[in-house]
Amino acid sequence: EAAVTQSPRNKVAVTGGKVTLSCNQTNNHNNMYWYRQDTGHGLRLIHYSYGAGSTEKGDIPDGYKASRPSQENFSLILELATPSQTSVYFCASGDSDSTEVFFGKGTRLTVV
């Protein structure tokens, strides 16, 4: 069964600190995505990747970096976390051969 696993599931970070959110997929999908979910904004695309070594900016990339070291792993990096980045973050994977995009269960990040 297709699986996308995110870690950690919950994280509290300090303003100005560095945060790394990790995502692993066992679907062998080429494409991976990072979204954030906020009340009043729905799901918004931060970064995405076509495969190992590639990262592309989504709709709201400011303040975020992404890293795709392998087909399976895709990280989201907040170099200097701010309270406005408090949100629920979802990783997903998909490709043209699958009929859907598979989402992980999310990471709840609180920046204090």
Partner 1 sequence: GDSVTQTEGQVALSEEDFLTIHCNYSASGYPALFWYVQYPGEGPQFLFRASRDKEKGSSRGFEATYDKGTTSFHLRKASVQESDSAVYYCALGNYAQGLTFGLGTRVSVFP
Residues at the interface with partner 1 (CB under 8 A): 4, 31, 33, 35, 40-45, 48, 50, 56, 58-59, 90, 92, 94-96, 98-106
CB of 92 to partner 1, least distance (A): 7
Q: How far is the CB of 41 from partner 1 (least distance, A)?
A: 7
For partner 1, give the closer residue by CB, 18 or 105: 105
Q: Which is nearer to partner 1, 65 or 102 (CB)?
A: 102
Beta bridge partners of residue 12, listed in sequence order = 110
Looking at the Cβ atoms of 85 and 94, the one nearer to partner 1 is 94
- What are the two backbone dihedrals, phi and then psi, of residue 84, each rounded to the nearest 5 degrees? -70, -10
Residue 34 contacts residue 48 (beta carbons within 8 Å):
yes
Locus of tokens 């600190």: 17
Instruction: Report d(CA 72, CA 106) in Å as an integer.
Output: 17
Q: Which is nearer to partner 1, 31 or 75 (CB)?
A: 31
* Least CB distance to partner 1 at residue 17 (A): 25
Our CA angle for 21, 13, 32, nearest 5°, is 15
Q: Please, which residues bridge with residue 76 across strands?
A: 21, 66
CB of 15 to partner 1, least distance (A): 27
